[in-house]
Amino acid sequence: MWGAKRPNSRRSASIGIVSVALLVASACSGSSSTAAPAATTAPGATAATTALTGDLTWWGWTPTADLATQMIAGFNKVYPNVKVTFVSKPIDSYDSVLGPAITSSKGPDVFNVAPGSLNGGVSQFAPGAIDMTPAITAALGSDWKTKVAPAGVDPMTVGGKLVGLQVGAVYSGWMWINQDIFDKYSLKAPTTLAEWKTVCSTLKTNGVGCFVQGAGQWAFDMDTFEAICENIAPDLYTQAAQGKVKWTDPRFAQAMANWKSLFDQGIMQDGAVGLQQYPDANNLFLSGKYAMVMMGSWYTSNTVKETMVNGMTAAGVTSPTPITIMPIPFPDLAGSGKTGTMFGDADYGLAVSAKSSQQEAAKAFAIWIATSQAGQQVVANTLNLIPALKGVGAQWDQINLVNPSKQLTALQAYQTTAVSSISQRLGDVSADLNTAFRDALIGMASGQKTADQALQGLQAVQDAAK
């Protein structure tokens, strides 16, 4: 072999090789810069707020870019010299990405956290955030806990540390229907399983889908299941998640049977477990192919004409006529007569990174969004979230509903019901319980698990957590 002969100049060869590699490496470490904010001062700003400067980065899986822009614009009227850049991070990888980032000074200054253990869970990220108690006390007074929704207090606190300031809450437990379809076939919102089946068979005869659920995305299965549980005994689900009631309780066996009946009685569309709630079920509902869907209070924003048109366009409808959607209580599957309750908790809160070098500006931003009248009004008017600050509600006269005569009163009642909920949605669900719910609910739906097996799986996780 040629290599057996020794090269004369190994040394220069080595140096050559190494320097080529170094050259390539150094040519590749580029850098960049960001532009300065365009400041416009407005009424509401004081000398102190104007004096505060900063250039913040805010990370979240929500809100949408449009909404974030509105929120930041409102903030900049008061704090004209603090620039905020919202960076939307995909929900599925939020935790993987946020983890490293907030241990570095190059990470975000402000980041979203959520109650429970799904993306951005407070217990996971508490070590990377500062305690917001002093800031909120300064903003709202020492009785701040009475001024904000309870969903933003305990579920956002880890070991005495207020990790995030709740921006707003979401509630679930009711469904949404396409009123235009219901009207067309002179149907009434179902209140029992029998009525629900009648509605579905009428729709099917007319070639319209009835109820659509992306049952492959089990977070929404958990909503439906909790709604079923609420119907059997309000707050039962939350108590079990807190370990006060066993999942093997016979009432849950009934709930599982009810859950299964949705699949067996032709209410769930065929192949539900193969679909995701987003994008599949959402797009099927918005494009008018199905008449009912299990979505929570965040869906209220689809009653706004513009949002609905955008949503329908995004679902692939060409030049859409916005549809009228209405919230309806979950039907009385159990025959208990207890219907209409909802459950919910903080959708997200804003946390300030302990590694941020601009904590003052970051705190000012979080406080303004979460506790100021003006900031919370922006949140309220998008109808996406129910604001955290008590006394702030949507300004309906400024909102362009698709069909105000039908929707307005219903929506007001809906929001009143939502804020009076006592049960939690995700706050007490641990990561392992969440996984167990996936296996239990999808296993039941596809007939691969019995109710006993499913419930024992849930209880096993609950026992292990003790």
Partner 1 sequence: MSTAPAHETLGRPVNATGRPRGRSSPLGSRLSGLPWILPAIVLVIGLIYFPIGYLGYASTLNWNGFILSTPTSIGDANYAKMFGDPVFWNALWHTVFFYVITFSVQTFIGFTFAAVMHSRIRLGNLYKAIVFVPVVLAPATMAPVFRQIFDQFGQFNWLLSSIGLGSLTRPWLADPTTAMPVIMFITVWEWTGLTFVLYYAAMSQLSPEILEAARVDGAGNFRTLRSIVWPMCRGTTAALAVLGLIGALKTFDIPYLVTHGGPNHGTEFLGTYIYYTMAQGKHFGYAATLAIALLVLAVAGGVLLRISTSRSDKE
Partner 2 sequence: MFDIHGRWSRLGLQLLATLMILPFLAPLVFGLQGSLGGLGLGNYAKVWNTGIVPTVFMNSAIISVCTIAIVYACTMLAAFGFSKLRIMGREVWFWAILAALTVPEAVILTPLFVVASNFDLYDELIAVILPLAALQVPFTILIARNFFDGVPNEIMEAARVDGANGLQVFWSIVLPLTRPITAAIIVFTLISSWNSYLLPMLMLTDQSKQVVTLLPSFFTSQYTNDQTGVLAAAVITAVPEVLVYLLFQKSFERGLSAGALK
Q: Which DSSP string do the residues of 325-363 spell out, in sequence order? A: EEEEEPPBSSS-S-----EEEEEEEEEEBTT-S-HHHHH
What is the smallest separation between the CB atom of 176 and partner 2, expressed in angstroms? 13
What is the smallest separation between the CB atom of 17 and partner 1, expressed in angstroms? 6
Residue 355 φ/ψ, nearest 5 degrees: -90, -5
The span from the CA of 236 to the CA of 245, in Å, is 8
Residue 106 binds partner 1, judged by CB under 8 A: no
Q: Token pair of 79, please?
A: 């704090």
One residue of 336, 357, 373, 446 binding partner 1 per CB under 8 A: 446
One residue of 156, 175, 295, 442 binding partner 1 per CB under 8 A: 442
One residue of 55, 278, 305, 430 binding partner 2 per CB under 8 A: 278
List strand residue ranges (DSSP E) for 15-159, in order: 54-60, 82-88, 110-113, 157-158
Nearer to partner 1, 306 or 452 (CB): 452
DSSP annotation of 192 reads: B
Nearer to partner 1, 116 or 190 (CB): 116
Binding mask 21-40 for partner 1 (x = CB under 8 A): x-------------------
DSSP annotation of 389 reads: B
Nearer to partner 2, 29 or 398 (CB): 29
What is the smallest separation between the CB atom of 298 and partner 2, expressed in angstroms? 5
Is the CB of residue 384 less than 8 Å from the CB of residue 378?
no
Nearer to partner 1, 286 or 342 (CB): 286
Is the CB of residue 162 less than 8 Å from the CB of residue 349?
no
209 DSSP β-pair partners: 290
Is the CB of residue 363 less than 8 Å from the CB of residue 49?
no
Residue 124 binds partner 1, judged by CB under 8 A: yes
Q: Token pair of 111, please?
A: 């980041």
Is the CB of residue 52 less than 8 Å from the CB of residue 364?
yes
Binding footprint of partner 2 on the chain (CB under 8 A): 1-5, 7-10, 12-13, 16-17, 20-21, 24-25, 27-34, 57, 61-65, 85, 87-91, 93, 96-97, 99-101, 103-104, 106-108, 278-279, 282-283, 298-299, 301, 310-318, 384
Q: Which residues bind partner 1 (CB under 8 A)?
A: 3-7, 10-11, 13-15, 17-18, 20-21, 92-93, 95-96, 99-100, 102-103, 117-118, 124-125, 127-128, 216-217, 269-276, 279-280, 289, 431-432, 434-435, 438-439, 442-443, 446, 448
